[in-house]
Chain A
Amino acid sequence: GAGVSQSPSNKVTEKGKDVELRCDPISGHTALYWYRQSLGQGLEFLIYFQGNSAPDKSGLPSDRFSAERTGGSVSTLTIQRTQQEDSAVYLCASSFSGSGNSYEQYFGPGTRLTVT
């Protein structure tokens, strides 16, 4: 079946511009996660959505980062006024549920963001 999809696969933007990254989770998965993979910081958690609950934003590095999840499905990660240190691969993952039992997280292919 279809896995987690992300778009675009690559994004090059100029410093100071805003970008939007999209994630389509696996159908039926109620939990959705965003991670960032960068050379300096490795793989780090950004934000987590579970159903209609308030998202866990504890991993967002600054207030320039925000995310939303519409209708409990598609999610968009927005980075405002991009900086060069935002250059990284942004990974989305989804799972059946984030509460209680731990379910396998399925990862998307990532969006490679380059800020020039």
Chain B
Amino acid sequence: EIVLTQSPGTLSLSPGERATLSCRASQSVSSSYLAWYQQKPGQAPRLLIYGASSRATGIPDRFSGSGSGTDFTLTISRLEPEDFAVYYCQHYFSGLFGPGTKVDIK
């Protein structure tokens, strides 16, 4: 059974800074099945990235995904005020979600 680990648990940054979020799988997974989501308080999650690196419809290009095998990364090139939220990775094939990384304002 695959286990997803996300790090760090919390990332404290300022607007304009670059955010790098990590998702590690306990065994190699197809990059076709790695997705990232953003969730703000009181809202449903929003799909950001699928297939490890493809942006979903309407997602700004400051969001990018990369990685393969067991190590995947979500990068936000320059944080906007609306980007402070919790981010989850997901192994799409099994449905499993990682525990999340909270990006908060420093």
The answer to whether A and B assemble together is: no
Q: Which residues of B contact A (CB under 8 A)?
A: none
Q: Which residues of A contact B (CB under 8 A)?
A: none
